[in-house]
Amino acid sequence: MPPLVPDNVTAFAETVGPEPDDVLREMQRHAEREAFPIVGPAVGGWLALVARMTDASRIFEFGSGFGYSAYWFASVLPADGEVILTEVDTEELDLARDFFEGGDLADRAVFEAGDAIETIEAYDGPFDIVLVDNEKGRYIDAFEAVREKVVPGGVVLADNAMRADPVVDFEDLREIVAGGDSTGASEGTRGIAAYLEAVRADPEFETAILPLGSGVAVSYRVG
């Protein structure tokens, strides 16, 4: 299946964006070897930029894998900042810890094993940035669990807001968002559509789509 964004556009975005360090390059090589989905350097550099623009010091991730997106965040956090990684696969979380230690960023990370929506209950916030990247049918649950913990001026980012092969189909998603019939769409596609409907309808958030990678929904808390 062809990428949503042409390869030459992605390559250009990577060239213009921040340069990955050696650890990020090794993380990308690992992802390629294991066919593990990551946001990639074009989106990763943009995540780091959002952290800088919001002067972020505290970040929570719903689903972190082996820590690729979290590493981009951590790379620009202040010395007393933290990114909280959550992951049900303990081997992936251990690998994330190894990468963070290799980049001398482990002191800016908290590694939480277990279900992210259960984990967030132990945190009062506030958070400057939240990244939602757990099961697509549970995006709304993640948003509802964290929305009151996001500071005004903070941002909720949702990855796979346009596609996640094979669980989210872009054409079906477009049809649903445009008001069409969701019959026949996958559970993941319906989950993303429901999430987008919820954040767009929330009066305290303004939402737009970043059309890079698999699409990132950007929801800025205005109130």
Domain ranges of the chain: 7-211
**pLDDT tens per residue, range 28-40:** 999 999 999 999 9
**pLDDT tens per residue, range 95-121:** 999 999 999 999 999 999 999 999 999
Token pair for residue 201?
Answer: 């309808």
CA distances from 139 to 12, 41, 47, 54 (A): 30, 23, 19, 23
**Residue with the two structure tokens 């996958």:** 186
Pick the CATH number of 7-211 from 3.30.365.10, 3.40.50.300, 3.40.50.720, 3.40.50.150: 3.40.50.150
Instruction: Check pLDDT > 80 for residue 179.
Output: yes
The span from the CA of 198 to the CA of 221, in Å, is 14
Mean pLDDT along residues 53-80: 98
Q: Are 135 and 105 in contact (CB under 8 A)?
A: no
Q: What is the pTM of this model?
A: 0.96
Cβ neighbours for 203, distance < 8 A, ≥ 6 positions apart: 223
Say if residue 175 is exposed, middle or buried (CB neighbours under 10 Å; 0-12, 13-18, 19+).
middle
